[in-house]
Amino acid sequence: AVLLCLTVHETCHGLAAYALGDPTAKQMHRLSLNPLRHIDWLGLAMMFLVGFGWAKPVPVDMRYFKKPKQGMAVTALAGPASNFILAVLLLFGCKATLHYINYTWGIPVLTFLVMAAQLSIGLGLFNLIPVPPLDGSRVLTALLPDNAYYRLMRYERFGILLLLVLSFTGVGGNLISGAINGVFQGLVSVFVPELLNLLR
C-alpha cells in the first residue's frame, strides 16, 4: 500500500511537470510506476517507524515553465490530487470486491484496498500542509512575491527537521488523523455506502 501510494504520487509530479514543458523527470526515468525508481529507503523506514516518511523527490527544473511559480504550484498539486483520485479508484475496487469476490478471498482483498485508500488520503492531506518541502508550501509560495518566494525556499531544508520533530512529539497528530478519517468516511459514504456497515 505504501509503495503504491508513493509511486503514484511521485509519478504524477513528473507527469505534470512534463506536461508543462519540463523533460527532466522523463530524462531521469521518473515517469514510471516502478516503485524502485521512487523509493528513498531512509524515508520509507521513517514512515514505518514514526508515521512520517518520504519518497525520492522528482527532479523539476522550473526554468522550463512559462510561469515558473505557477508551474511549480501545479506540479506540486498533482501529487496530492493523484492520491485523492487513487483513493476513489481503490474504493471502487472495494465496491467490486463486495459484489464479485467470495467471502474467503474478499476479506484480505478488502482489507488491503481500505488500508491503501486511507493511506493515500493521508499522504494527500499531509502533503498539503504548507511547510517546506511539502507540496502545500509550493502552492502557498506561488501566491507570494518573487523575493519572498526565493527567501522562503532558502529555508526549505529546515522544514524536514520541523516535520520530524512534530512527528516524534505527536503534535498535530489528532488533527491530521481526524481529517483523514473525515475525508475517508465522506468518500465511502458517496462511492461505497455499503462498506460503512462493515467498518463500524
Estimate the crossing angle of helix 103-127 against helix 2-19, to 10 degrees: 50
For residue 194, indicate whether it is catalytic.
no
Residues 6+ apart with CB under 8 A from 186: none
* Among 2, 6, 7, 10, the one annotated catalytic: 10
Using omega within 30 degrees of 0 as the cis cutoff, is the peptide bond preceding 35 cis?
no
Reference 153, options 128, 130, 171, 129; nearest CA is 130
Residues tagged active-site: 10
